[in-house]
Amino acid sequence: MKLNMRDMPVTLRSPTAQDGASLHRLIRACPPLDENSLYCNLLQCTQFAATSVVAERAGELVAAVTGHLVPGREDTLFIWQVAVHESARGQGLAHRMLKHILARPDCAAVRFVETTVTASNRASWALFEALARGLDAALERTALFEQTTHFAGEHETEILARIGPFAAPGQQLRAMPPTDQSMETTV
C-alpha cells in the first residue's frame, strides 16, 4: 500500500544552522510571510533555537516556528513567524509546534505569548485564537506597527496579539506528553 505524504510522521525538534537554507526556502513558499535574509534565518536557527522549532517529514523541512523571549520581559514568548508548507496544513501542526515550544524548560517562566498579525491574515488569527482557547487565556489586540507611521505605507498594519496570563506549562498543557527537549518528538 502506498503511503500518502500527509500520513507520514512529522518530527519536531529545535533548529540548527544546517536548517537555515531550508527555513529560508520554506518562508519564501509561505506567503504572506515576509522573507528575511538567509543570515537572519541562520541567527534564528542558532541564537534563537531554544524558542524555535522545525518540523520534518520524510527528511524534508515542512514547517517551522521562530520566536524569542522578549528582552527584559522573559515571561513573554514572542512568536516571529509561523510557516507550514501547503502540503502539511490543516492537520494541527502549527498549533502543535507552538505548544512544543511552550512545553520546553526554557519557557518554564513564560506566562504570555505575543505575536503580530495583519487584519487580513485570517488563518493566523484562527491559529492564535485557538492557542488562547487552549491556554484558557485572554487575547488582547492593539496596533503595534502602523501602515503609515511605521511602514511608510508599504505594509499592512501589524496588530499585536497578546495572549495571557496563563498557568505554568505543566498545568495547562496537560494534554501534551512530557517533552524532553534534548529529544525529538514525533507527532
Ligand X SMILES: CC(C)(COP(=O)(O)OP(=O)(O)OC[C@H]1O[C@@H](n2cnc3c(N)ncnc32)[C@H](O)[C@@H]1OP(=O)(O)O)[C@@H](O)C(=O)NCCC(=O)NCCS
Considering beta carbons, is residue 49 or 78 the nearer one to ligand X? 78
Q: How far is the CB of 12 from ligand X (least distance, A)?
A: 12
Q: Minimal distance in Å, beta carbon 1 to ligand X?
A: 26
CB of 63 to ligand X, least distance (A): 7
Residues 75-94 that bind ligand X (CB under 6 A): 81-84, 89-94
- Asked if 44 touches ligand X (CB under 6 A), the answer is no
The DSSP code sequence of the chain is -PPPGGGS-EEEE---GGGHHHHHHHHHTSTTSPP--HHHHHHHHHTTGGG-EEEEETTEEEEEEEEEEETTEEEEEEEEEEEE-GGGTTSSHHHHHHHHHHTSGGGTT--EEEEEEETT-HHHHHHHHHHHHHHT--EEEEEEE-TTTTTTTSSPPEEEEEE-----HHHHTTTSPP--TTS-EE-
The interface with ligand X within residues 116-135 (CB under 6 A) comprises 121-124, 126-127, 130
Min separation Cβ 66 and ligand X, Å:
9
Closer residue to ligand X in complex, CB, 1/56: 56
In the complex, the residues that contact ligand X under the rule CB under 6 A are 30, 32-33, 81-84, 89-95, 121-124, 126-127, 130
